Structure 1
C-alpha cells in the first residue's frame, strides 16, 4: 500500500471503461460549524445549518446529481442529519462517506495543537481508533456502510491508506493537488497528479484527487511560480487579472462561476476523466463560513451550481456516483 503523502508512480494511473466518458462528482464536507478565525475546540461548535441539507439534496436531485455527503463525528451523531439524508441514501440519490475531524472525534488522547488537527499526524493506532469510531457511528445511525473517505483539512499521513484498506474503504478523496499545508504541519500536495490513481498494486483503494487547475499563460510553470507567491497575495491577483497565472479549485467557495468554467475547460483540454467538486456544508446557511455571510451570498452559491451544472451539461460531462466510479474503473 502506497502512502497518501507520496507522489504515485505513473503506473498507478487509473483508467475507466469505454463509454464512461468524462464525468464529475460532487462532494460535500458535511461538518459542524465553527469559527474559522479562532483556535479549534472540542465543543465550540454548532449544527444549526443541518436543516439546510434537505434543500441542497433536493436541488441536486432536480439536476440529476447524487451528492456525496462526507460526514464527520458531530453530524454522524445528529438525529436530524440522519432524518434528512436517510431517504436519499435509501433511494440511491445520495451517498455518504467518512470525514475525520480529529479534534471533535473520540477517543481524545492527543493534545489540542495545530499539527494534531491533521489526523495523519496522530499515532497510527489513535488515528485508526478515531476513524473506526466514526465509521461505526455512520453505519449505525445512517444504515449504510460508507465506501469513501476524506481527512478533515486534507490531513492524511503515512499510515492513512493502509488504515482505509483494512476497513474496506474503496475510495479516498483527501489529496488536494497544487496545495501545500506543510507550514501548519499538514501535507504538501504540490506536484501530485490530478487524474485518479490506485494506492495499491492490487487496485482495491482508488484516489480521487480534488480538482484544482492552473490557468493562464504561465500555467505550465505554476508549480514553480505559485508557491513563491504565498506571501504576496496582491501579486497573485495581478497575475490572475493579466491572464498569466491563476489557481482554480473547483468549488463555489471563493471561486466565481466564470473562474470555475475556465478551470473546467483546462481540465477537459488536459483529458481528465473525472472532475471532483467540493464545498463545506456550513456554507448552506449564512454566517458560518467566510464565503456565505448573507442570504444573497447563499443565492449566489445556488446560482453558481446552476451555472456550472449547465456548463458541464453543454460540454458533455455527466454526473457520476462513487459506486458508478467503482464499477467503471478498470482493474485489469
Structure 2
C-alpha cells in the first residue's frame, strides 16, 4: 500500500518572491489552518523548520504538535538565515547548502539541529535542504548528526543558477545515496525520500529520462504551453492544479513508487507572503487543492499517511534493511 507524506517547508516571507532584509514569518499565521485541514484526514504533516522559526513565538505550538504526535518536526537548512555567518556572507542571497563551503554546511546544520533540540526538547530526524541543494558535504553532515531521512531530491529536474545539483539522473523511489554524489545510489545510512515529480502522463522510463536530458532549446520547445507534449509536474498545490495532482499521483503509483511526497512552502499559507499567493483568493485555492488531493489520495488511492521519519522506519522494515 502506498504511503502519503505531507511536508511543509517553513520559509521566511518572500513578498513578490524577493528575500527580505529583515526576516519575518508572518506566513505562519496560516499554519494552524493547514494543521487542522491535515488532521481532518488523519494526516500528520512533517513541518521542516528553519533557524528563525525557533524564536518566532510559535515554538510552543510546534512543540505541542510534536509531543502529541500530531505532526513531526524536521530541519530545513537555509544557509542565509542560519548562523554562524562568515564576515563577507551575503544574507540577501538565498544560496542552497550545495553552494556554500563544506565547513559552513556542517556548522550551520549543527546550529539548526541543536536549536531544535534545545527549544523543542527532541532531536530532529528528518531534513530538507533549501533549494533542494543537497550535496556530499550536507549528506555527510546529516550522517554525523544522526539524521534518519532526507527529502531534498527532485527527480527529472536539472541544476539551476542558484547552485542546486542536477537531479535528472536521480532515482524516483527512496534510496540510500552515494556520500559524494547524492544523485546516485550508494551506502549512506540516511534514506533519501525524493519529492514526487514526474510527467503528466504515463511514459516509458527511457522516454521520461530522454526528455529530461534534452538541451535548453529542445526543453523550451517541449514545455511550450500550446504543444501537446508531456509536462513535468510537481506534487505541489502551488505548481499543479487539482487535475495535475491527481494524474501525477496515479502515474507515480503505476510506476511502482512506494510513497507520494506532497510538498508545500509555508509562504503560500498566508496572503501576500509569496509570489504564488499574493492575495487571499490564491491562498484559498491552495487549501482547496490540498483538501481535494488528500480526499482523493486517502479515499480513492487508499494511501496511508505517514511522517517522513515514520515512513523511513516503515520502509526499512518492509525492505528488510534494518
TM-score (norm 2): 0.87
CA distance in structure 1 between the aligned counterparts of 2:277 and 2:62, rounded to whole angstroms: 23
Deviations 1:156-215 (Å, cap 9, x if unpaired)? Answer: 222111110100000011111111234332210012111001137766310000010113
Structure 2 vs 1, CA of residues 276 and 266 (structure 1 numbering), >3 Å: closer, same or farther?
Answer: same
CA-CA distance at 1:282 after TM superposition: 1.1
Structure 2 vs 1, CA of residues 290 and 34 (structure 1 numbering), >3 Å: closer, same or farther?
Answer: closer
Residue 117 (structure 1) aligns with: 95
Contact 2:222/2:230 (<8 A) preserved: no
CA-CA distance at 1:114 after TM superposition: 9.2
Structure 2 vs 1, CA of residues 319 and 269 (structure 1 numbering), >3 Å: closer, same or farther?
Answer: same
Deviations 1:106-137 (Å, cap 9, x if unpaired)? Answer: 11115328997121232222111111111111
CA distance in structure 2 between the aligned counterparts of 1:37 and 1:63, rounded to whole angstroms: 31
CA-CA distance at 1:324 after TM superposition: 2.6
1:1-332 to structure 2, matched below 5 A, reads 21-35=1-15, 37-38=17-18, 40=19, 43-79=21-57, 81-109=58-86, 111-112=89-90, 117-199=95-177, 204-216=189-201, 220=205, 221-226=207-212, 228=214, 236-238=223-225, 242=228, 244-313=229-298, 314-328=300-314, 329=316, 330-332=320-322
Contact 1:229/1:235 (<8 A) preserved: no
CA-CA distance at 1:217 after TM superposition: 6.7
Contact 2:153/2:195 (<8 A) preserved: yes
Q: Which moved more, 1:226-235 or 1:95-104?
A: 226-235
CA-CA distance at 1:289 after TM superposition: 1.4
Structure 2 vs 1, CA of residues 234 and 188 (structure 1 numbering), >3 Å: closer, same or farther?
Answer: same
Gaps of 5+ in 1: 1-20
CA-CA distance at 1:23 after TM superposition: 0.6
Aligned residues: 307
Q: Which SS does the other structure have where 2:27 is aligned?
A: coil
Contact 1:194/1:272 (<8 A) preserved: yes
TM-score (norm 1): 0.85
Deviations 1:44-94 (Å, cap 9, x if unpaired)? Answer: 332112222112112211210000000011112212x21322221111010
CA distance in structure 2 between the aligned counterparts of 1:157 and 1:202, rounded to whole angstroms: 15
Q: Which SS does the other structure have where 1:184 is aligned?
A: coil
Contact 1:203/1:331 (<8 A) preserved: no
Q: Which moved more, 1:316-325 or 1:93-102?
A: 316-325
CA distance in structure 1 between the aligned counterparts of 2:93 and 2:204, rounded to whole angstroms: 31
Gaps of 5+ in 2: 179-185
Q: Which SS does the other structure have where 1:49 is aligned?
A: helix
Q: Which SS does the other structure have where 1:179 is aligned?
A: coil
CA RMSD of aligned residues (A): 2.4
Structure 2 vs 1, CA of residues 259 and 176 (structure 1 numbering), >3 Å: closer, same or farther?
Answer: same
Structure 2 vs 1, CA of residues 92 and 218 (structure 1 numbering), >3 Å: closer, same or farther?
Answer: closer
Deviations 1:210-254 (Å, cap 9, x if unpaired)? Answer: 010113376642333356475675751436x62x30111100012
Instruction: Point out 4+ residue stretches in structure 1 off by more than 4 angstroms.
Output: 113-116, 200-203, 217-220, 226-235
CA distance in structure 2 between the aligned counterparts of 1:212 and 1:183, rounded to whole angstroms: 20
Contact 2:126/2:309 (<8 A) preserved: no
Contact 1:77/1:137 (<8 A) preserved: no
CA distance in structure 2 between the aligned counterparts of 1:52 and 1:248, rounded to whole angstroms: 25
Residue 183 (structure 2) aligns with: none
CA distance in structure 1 between the aligned counterparts of 2:201 and 2:216, rounded to whole angstroms: 18
